[in-house]
């Protein structure tokens, strides 16, 4: 997550064990405030406790982010803009990929709104080691890895969010949403 990196956001809802993946957005070269404004303009209601999840690098301190050259974390900057990020558990990549495989079986995707993210998931791949004639333990870093990594964050955090049934809501339009960066 950063200005030069591609930032990808999956929007999802939980209904018991089912996960509705209702939207996807990606962009690069923008500030954190751009993404917060983008999410706020969506017609979604975000869970106030678990609404936004982000990677561990939200804890990176940046010079001048707080004004008067007081370093602040990206998470602190987001909080000053009205968004309280929960941190996605920082687990090994291979464990996150396994989590994604398990969670995918529970997902229903909006094919139109999630088309770019779905293409990223379809094109996510590992690196072949020609010297040792085996797959490496990490994925290829390319355009597809950004959206796929973001989905990996969704997969390890979505069950920490309350479902609409736990809220006592049964309408898909009134269920709380989460944004995973």
Separation CA 23–CA 109 (nearest Å): 8
Asked whether residue 98 carries a pLDDT value surpassing 50, the answer given is: yes
pLDDT of the residue at 48? 62
Tokens 């964050």 label which residue?
A: 153
Q: Which domains does the chain have, with CATH numbers?
A: 6-180 (3.30.420)
Separation CA 34–CA 45 (nearest Å): 18
Asked whether residue 5 carries a pLDDT value surpassing 90, the answer given is: no
pLDDT of the residue at 142? 94
Angle at 103 between CA 55 and CA 50, to 5 degrees: 45
pLDDT level of residue 95 (50, 70, 90 thresholds): very high
pLDDT of the residue at 163? 55
Mean per-residue pLDDT of the chain: 84
- Residue of higher predicted confidence among 162 and 101: 101
pLDDT level of residue 64 (50, 70, 90 thresholds): low
123-148 pLDDT, tens digit per residue, is 999 999 999 999 998 899 999 999 99
pLDDT of the residue at 169? 45
Backbone conformation region of residue 39, classed left if phi is above 0, alpha if psi is from -120 to 50, else beta = alpha
Asked whether residue 78 carries a pLDDT value surpassing 70, the answer given is: yes
pLDDT of the residue at 162? 57
pLDDT of the residue at 66? 54
pLDDT of the residue at 41? 92
Minimum mean pLDDT range among 59-63, 79-83, 110-114, 149-153: 59-63
Helix (H), strand (E) counts: the chain: 6, 10
pLDDT of the residue at 67? 56
């Amino acid at each position: 997550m950063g200005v030069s990196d591609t930032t990808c956001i999956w929007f999802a809802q939980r209904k018991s064990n089912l996960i509705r993946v209702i939207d996807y957005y990606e962009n690069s070269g923008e500030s954190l405030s751009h993404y917060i404004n983008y999410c706020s303009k969506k017609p979604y209601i975000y869970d106030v406790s678990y609404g936004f999840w982000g990677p561990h690098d939200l804890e990176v301190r940046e010079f001048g982010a707080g004004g008067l050259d007081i370093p602040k974390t990206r998470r602190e900057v987001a909080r000053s803009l009205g968004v309280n990020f929960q941190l996605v558990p920082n687990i090994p990549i291979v464990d996150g990929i396994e989590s994604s495989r398990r969670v995918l079986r529970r997902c229903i995707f909006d094919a139109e709104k999630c088309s770019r993210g779905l293409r990223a998931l379809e094109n996510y791949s590992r690196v072949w080691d020609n010297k040792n004639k085996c797959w490496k333990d990490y994925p290829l870093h390319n355009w597809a890895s950004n959206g796929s990594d973001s989905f990996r964050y969704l997969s390890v955090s979505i069950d920490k969010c309350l479902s609409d049934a736990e809220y006592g809501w049964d309408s898909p339009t009134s269920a709380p949403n989460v944004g995973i960066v």
